[in-house]
Amino acid sequence: MKKLLCILSAFLTIIFSSCESETSILGTQDFTGSVDEMRVIVGTDAYDKFTSILEIPIYEGNNPPSLNGEYIFFQILQTADAIDPNSPVNGNILGGLYLKIQLSNQDIENGKVDYLAAVWAVGEDQFPGTEDDEFLFFETALREVFVFGSVLPDGTGGFNLFAEGEVDGNAENTDTIALSGFGTSEGVIDFKYAFVSFDIRNTINAGNTWKDSNSFSPKL
């Protein structure tokens, strides 16, 4: 069963990895890694939510650390809510759930990467990645995914990733996504995943920030 899940993950990555659109959302300009580009990619309303209420730190630059790999958030800690900053869920662990994020085919020159995320429920053994886990849903990118940041001489560095994501391949069920953290060769320190959703009036009606409860997400 575990082998089957690994094959399924690879299959989904091939099918649903973010693809190059004929026209970049940034137009024909060179990618510089600026805040202005972040605002273009996610929109001003989402950017403002990410950087204020959802507490996503910003790392400008067009030379982020290498992020290719699969990362796991276990256990998931909710740290912020876009609609209710005083939500009683904030500061609590989302019991029994874990998040896997897969980043691949990173193109540092053009600031892009392929993105896939999946949420799982642990089985009776309460340990992630075993055969009794239950797959809940996956999230893939609707269009190109951009990575910002500036790598340090030792190869580590802070980064941001921004994307428009769809849940379970349904283009009508979408979120705007932001990731942040400090990349190292072993994993990501203080890895944060945040999303906002919009209603039919294009008003943000939901959003949360999740992170690994021990502040380190290992590279699998």
3-state secondary structure 94-115: CCCEEEEEEEEEEECCCCEEEE
Residue (of 134, 137, 136) closest to 168 by Cα position: 137
Are residues 115 and 109 in contact, defined by beta-carbon separation less than 8 angstroms? no
Say how many C-beta atoms besides its own lie within 10 A of residue 107's C-beta: 13
Hey, what amino acid is at 145?
V
What is the pTM (predicted TM-score) of this model?
A: 0.84
Per-residue pLDDT at 14: 34
Distant-in-sequence contacts of 125-132, Cβ < 8 A, 24+ apart:
126/96, 128/72, 128/74, 128/98, 129/2, 129/72, 130/2, 131/1, 131/2, 131/5
Which residues are within 8 A (CB) of 85 and not within 5 positions of it... i.e. 6 or more apart? 53
Residue 55 to residues 128, 155, 158: CA-CA distances in angstroms? 27, 25, 15
Closest C-alpha among 96, 122, 52, 75 to residue 216: 75
Domain ranges of the chain: 2-218
> What residues contact 54, with CB distance under 8 A and at least 6 apart?
80, 82, 178, 194, 196, 207, 208, 209
Spans in the chain with pLDDT lower than 70: 1-25, 27-28, 171
Question: Under a CB-based contact definition with an 8 Å cutoff, are residues 139 and 116 in contact?
Answer: yes
Q: How far apart are CA 97 and CA 99, in angstroms?
A: 7
What is the C-alpha separation between 48 and 203, in angstroms, rounded? 13
Greatest CA separation for the chain: 51
- pLDDT digit string (tens) for 136-195? 988 888 788 999 999 999 999 999 999 888 888 776 778 899 999 999 999 999 999 999
Helix (H) or strand (E) run with residue 58 in it: none
C-alpha 30: how far from chain center: 23
